[in-house]
């Protein structure tokens, strides 16, 4: 017996109006359900990967220099951007175990907890060199891949710190439908000094408060906690887009109070929200 898993006609939590990013792996499954058409009686997924689209990634495994992998049809532009950044950073697939499509659960997880590989929404990149927290991916490459964003300002990908081979789509279908911001695929913006970028928790609180005071607000209803998480990152990028700056967002790891934003962004934000005398 095969139980129905979901359908293209169902309402997806990730497509709710105004939704920014994806809250959980479960919500990601709901955002891109089509490749998993059911679950067997013993809890294994039943997949139809015929809907997948082939995207070429740079490799040393073929004479052509390209390795075509299946991705979800709603994610083609994002994965092409991912491959473009790999080429620009001279990083290639050299491990034949690299893959995107696998009809399986997460490490024998319970009924219905499918891997995002079953949903054609993740890649295991060069597993032999990226096991656990160890990685051969240069920090510059990781930063460039995380910088890829949609035109709505949402980061397109995230990487698991406990499993560095694993990169997955990290934004909703609605956000991907706005397209990939080409500015986030090109060379990163000029660097500045670490001291200029770093901010403490009090400064982050000022940033969050300023984003809330904007008209219309870009951080409305969010916690003023001094910790730059996903909502803060999206709001900073939206402000940069609003004032015509390159969308850089949070510079450094999210949830790190010592991360920063581009100094020009901070100055323009504070200037825009100075209280009237």
Mean pLDDT, to the nearest integer, of 246-261? 87
Q: Model pTM?
A: 0.64
Is residue 66 situated within a structural domain? Answer: yes
Mean pLDDT, to the nearest integer, of 99-108? 86
Q: How confident is the model at residue 185 (pLDDT cuts 50, 70, 90)?
A: very high
H helix count then E strand count, the chain: 8, 8
Is residue 192 situated within a structural domain? Answer: no
The Cα–Cα gap between 233 and 152 comes to 12
Q: How confident is the model at residue 76 (pLDDT cuts 50, 70, 90)?
A: very high
Is residue 215 situated within a structural domain? Answer: yes
Q: Identify whether residues 72 and 110 lie together within a single domain.
A: yes
Q: Identify whether residues 155 and 78 lie together within a single domain.
A: yes
Q: Identify whether residues 85 and 203 lie together within a single domain.
A: no
Q: How confident is the model at residue 58 (pLDDT cuts 50, 70, 90)?
A: very high
Q: How confident is the model at residue 253 (pLDDT cuts 50, 70, 90)?
A: confident
Is residue 135 situated within a structural domain? Answer: yes
CB atoms < 10 A from the CB of 107, how many? 7
Q: How confident is the model at residue 4 (pLDDT cuts 50, 70, 90)?
A: very low
Is residue 277 situated within a structural domain? Answer: no
Is residue 250 situated within a structural domain? Answer: yes
Q: Identify whether residues 110 and 145 lie together within a single domain.
A: yes
Q: Identify whether residues 180 and 217 lie together within a single domain.
A: no
The Cα–Cα gap between 116 and 26 comes to 9
Q: What is the pLDDT of residues 114-145, one digit of tens each?
A: 899 999 999 999 999 998 778 999 888 888 99
Burial readout 54-90 (b: 16 or more C-beta within 10 A, e: otherwise): ebbbbbeeeeeebbebbbbebbebbbbbbbbbbeebe
Is pLDDT at 166 greater than 90 in this prediction?
yes
Domain that holds residue 74: 12-184
**Domain-ending residue, one of 128, 161, 184:** 184
How many domains does one find in the chain? 2
CB atoms < 10 A from the CB of 38, how many? 15
């Amino acid at each position: 017996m095969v139980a129905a898993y979901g359908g293209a006609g169902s309402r997806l939590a990730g497509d709710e109006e105004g939704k920014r990013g994806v809250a959980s792996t479960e919500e990601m499954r709901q955002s891109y359900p089509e490749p998993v058409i059911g679950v067997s009686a013993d809890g294994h997924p039943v997949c139809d990967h015929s809907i997948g689209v082939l995207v070429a990634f740079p490799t040393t495994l073929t004479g052509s220099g390209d390795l075509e992998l299946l991705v979800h049809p709603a994610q083609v532009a994002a994965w092409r951007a991912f491959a473009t950044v790999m080429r620009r950073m001279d990083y290639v697939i050299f491990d034949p175990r690299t893959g995107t499509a696998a009809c399986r659960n997460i490490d024998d997880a319970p009924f219905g907890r499918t891997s995002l590989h079953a949903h054609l929404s993740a890649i295991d990149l060069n597993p032999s060199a990226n096991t656990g927290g160890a990685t051969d991916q240069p920090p510059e490459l990781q930063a460039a891949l995380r910088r890829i964003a949609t035109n709505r300002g949402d980061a397109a990908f995230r990487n698991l710190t406990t499993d560095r081979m694993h990169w997955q789509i990290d934004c909703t279908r609605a956000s991907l439908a706005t397209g990939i911001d080409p500015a986030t695929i090109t060379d990163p913006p000029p660097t500045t000094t670490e001291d200029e970028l770093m901010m403490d928790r009090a400064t982050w609180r000022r940033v969050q408060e300023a984003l809330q005071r904007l008209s219309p607000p870009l951080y409305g209803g969010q916690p003023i906690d001094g910790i730059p998480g996903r909502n803060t990152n999206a709001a900073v990028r939206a402000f940069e887009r609003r004032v015509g700056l390159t969308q850089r967002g949070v510079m450094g790891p999210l949830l790190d109070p010592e991360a920063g934003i581009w100094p020009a962004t901070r100055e323009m934000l504070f200037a825009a929200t100075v209280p009237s005398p």
